[in-house]
Amino acid sequence: MRILVRALQMLKVGGRVVYSTCSMNPIENEAVIAAAIERCGGPDHVELIDCSKELPDLKRVDGLNTWKVLDRDGRTWNSWEEVEEHRKSEGITGLGRLAASMFPPTENFHLERCMRVYPHLQDTGGFFITVLEKKTEIRAKPEDSTKVIPKASVAAVLEELDQKNRDGTGGFLDKIEA
């Protein structure tokens, strides 16, 4: 996302950026687009362009406006708020590398203007394509690190392993004498 945001900053007003991946994962596609637009100040500053009339014969599907996010334990989440509520109620400090920007945006960014080209529709590989236009000068907001569940620190992991070794549930970690 940093590269996309930087590309948008460097454009002249009225300039366009084409963002394309060969992934079908909405976290790598629509979520990145929504997060970039949000960091640049919203749809008043960066707009998704509908290119469907430019390529009328291209068999495509509209971009997604909703999707679920899978955590490292295979649980699915519908929203960042759902993750936060679960963390608070269960006293959990981490659920992998989940971030608020992975989830569908609450604001309407017109993600349906993105294009998904599925392999079975055109006998091609799968592609995600979208065109963004810079409407005004932008100063990107800093990334919000408070909306990311951090990885456990090395010290915390070592402490957990040491505790398992002491109570006999680990057995694989020998104490290192300094």
Which neighbouring-strand residues pair with 117?
A: 127
Q: SS3 for 76?
A: strand
Residues 24-54 have pLDDT tens digits of: 999 999 999 999 999 999 999 999 999 989 9
By mean pLDDT, which of 44-48, 112-116, 172-176 is the weakest?
Answer: 172-176
Determine contact, residues 42/7, Cβ cutoff 8 Å. Answer: no
Flag whether pLDDT at 121 surpasses 70.
Answer: yes
Flag whether pLDDT at 14 surpasses 50.
Answer: yes
Active site residues: 22
Q: 34-59: buried (b, 16+ CB within 10 Å) or exposed (e) per residue?
A: bbbbbbbbeeebbbbeebeeeeeeee
pTM, entire model: 0.76
Residues 63-88 have pLDDT tens digits of: 999 999 998 888 899 999 999 999 88
- Which domains are seen in the chain, by residue range? 2-67+104-147 (3.40.50.150)
